[in-house]
Amino acid sequence: MKVTKDISKTLLLLVTVAITILLYHKNLIWLGYKWIDDPDYSHGPLIPLISIYIGWLKREKLLKIKEKDGSLFGLAVITFAIILQVLSIRAEVNLTSSYSFIIIIYGIILTFYGKEISKKLFFPVAYLFFMVPFLGFFIEPISNKLKLLSAYLSAKIIYLLGVSVYREGVMLNFPTGSIEVADPCSGIRSIISLFALGTIFAYFTETSLTKKIFLVISTIPLAVLGNLSRIIFSGLMISAGINVTTGVIHTVAGLLVFMVALLGLVWFRSILKWKKVK
């Protein structure tokens, strides 16, 4: 009897998954194109893989849970997600459609496997929100302000290093050439990807919730600092007559952002884990 019940449950789950894919296939294609076309979200494909990996790490705890009966509340979550998806399709808004997809995943888990398992899988499912692009009207003003701030601070630091530089808006002018603090150099791309990375760092750090939040928030100034390092490095290379738009120097300049930010994250994490010996 139990075997028949399990087979029926599995078949119903497969049908539900198939219907869900059909319902969201256009949105999934849109997400794929955004990951490919938008450099700010090139980390997008990694997010589902990280979520699956975290779920895999929990497999032993999940198997130990005896109560695996579904929750009717899950049907309410699925219903909400479907309503949101219908409204998103009619309004042609892929952003809310993406959110709906993540919500329905959690609803399916809750419906078929119950509250205990859904609690264990809440974080890996919620982490999927990092694969969805933010609102453009929210990101663009921040990006513009960051470009101006980065250009201003970079010019000040380069000048203090003894290099002649004249700033004009987001342009840094040197006797040997100029560089523009464009959108990729604003730091917003680094903030988005490092915020996702910082969340993983915090999740695997055994400390209090307050310290975890602090670790995640620290990715913002670290991303700005890393981006400043890149601009300053590029400015110094330009002032020395070295082309930084292509080749190895360009690659090194790009890696500086993550090198500085990643080292900062590791350092902050070690401080948060440190405990005073009595």
Question: What tens-digit pLDDT sequence spans the chain (278 residues)?
Answer: 555 666 777 888 889 989 999 999 999 999 998 888 877 777 888 999 999 999 999 988 888 887 667 788 899 999 999 999 999 999 888 889 999 999 999 999 999 988 889 999 999 999 999 998 875 556 677 777 888 888 888 888 988 988 888 888 888 888 888 888 776 555 666 777 888 888 888 888 877 888 888 888 888 888 888 888 888 888 888 887 777 666 566 666 666 667 777 787 778 777 766 654 43
187 and 126 assigned to the same domain = no
The answer to whether position 102 is within a domain reads yes
Distance CA 89, CA 47 (A): 24
125 and 154 assigned to the same domain = no
CA atoms lying within 13 Å on the CB side of residue 184: 11
For the entire predicted model, the pTM comes to 0.80
The sheet carrying 166-168 orders its strands as 166-168, 171-174, 177-180
73 and 141 assigned to the same domain = no
Pick from 115, 131, 147: which residue ends a domain? 131
Domain that holds residue 227: 136-273
Distance CA 273, CA 278 (A): 15
55 and 33 assigned to the same domain = yes
172 and 104 assigned to the same domain = no
**Residue at 52: amino acid letter:** I
> DSSP code of 245?
S
Pick from 131, 148, 169: which residue ends a domain? 131
Which residues on adjacent β-strands are paired with residue 166?
A: 173
Tell me how far CA of residue 139 lies from CA of 183, 192, 215, in angstroms: 11, 10, 22
125 and 159 assigned to the same domain = no
221 and 108 assigned to the same domain = no
How do strand 166-168 and strand 177-180 relate by DSSP bridges?
unpaired
Given CA atoms 17, 18, 22, 23 in this order, what sign does their dihedral have? negative
99 and 164 assigned to the same domain = no
